Amino acid sequence: MKKPIVAIVMGSDSDLPVMKESVAVMEEFQIPYEVMILSAHRCPEETARFAGAAFEKGIKVIIAGAGGAAHLAGVIAAHFPLSVIGIPIKTPALSGVDSLYSIVQMPPGIPVATVGINGAKNAGLLAVQILAVNDNKLGKGLKTYKANLAKTALAKSDKLRRVGVKNYLESVQK
């Protein structure tokens, strides 16, 4: 297996059902990655140690998802010199808005790119876009990916036009 260049980190194993979408994107684009559970609050020394050593290990982008106070991405960004992408995880108490605010409100000098609540797929795609700046193969893969998105959307529009609203809704609700 190739050395990982993306790290996918989550604050708790309860975040894995969301974070698996970032994993799926890494696998789709064949990007070597590692996945781990680290908590900014439960194991702060280990989190700081990981983030401080990630650059020397060859990690180019870190994707960090957490809920609640959601300090994981910010703590990692404080110790890692390259791109960190934060994923606010939806919480029962405030539906992820607390997580979103915690990640997006970083102080000057410690940026964290932030995607939408539970936006792990977009975080994975953003990581691919960051890596594609220096990788033409990834850039071409992204062009194909986006062309396929357009093709799918246009096919749905064509089907809607052909079968009508009622039949379309019945077909997608099955």
pLDDT digits (tens, 9 = 90+) for 77-121: 999 999 999 999 999 999 999 999 999 999 999 999 999 999 999
Could you tell me if residue 102 is inside a domain?
yes
Enter the pTM of the model. 0.94
Residue 88, strand partner residues: 66
pLDDT confidence band for 33 (50 / 70 / 90): very high
Which CATH number belongs to the domain containing residue 129 in this structure?
A: 3.40.50.1970
Q: What is the mean pLDDT of residues 155-161?
A: 97
- C-beta separation of 21 from 49 below 8 A: no
Instruction: Show the tokens assigned to 170.
Output: 């019945």
CA distances from 11 to 61, 67, 88 (A): 17, 8, 11
How many Cβ atoms are within 10 Å of 46's Cβ, its own excluded? 12
Strand residues in 4-157 grouped as ranges (E): 6-10, 33-37, 61-67, 83-89, 113-114
> What integer pLDDT is reported at residue 174 of this predicted model?
77
Same domain, 55 and 89: yes
Q: What range defines the domain where residue 45 resides?
A: 6-134
Cα 129 from Cα 145, distance rounded (Å): 12
pLDDT in tens, 109-148: 999 999 999 999 999 999 999 999 999 999 999 999 999 9
Could you tell me if residue 93 is inside a domain?
yes
Same domain, 36 and 109: yes
Could you tell me if residue 115 is inside a domain?
yes
Contacts of 155 (CB under 8 A, 6+ apart): none
Same domain, 26 and 82: yes
Q: How many domains does the chain have?
A: 2
Same domain, 143 and 122: no
Cα 152 from Cα 157, distance rounded (Å): 9
Residue 66, strand partner residues: 88
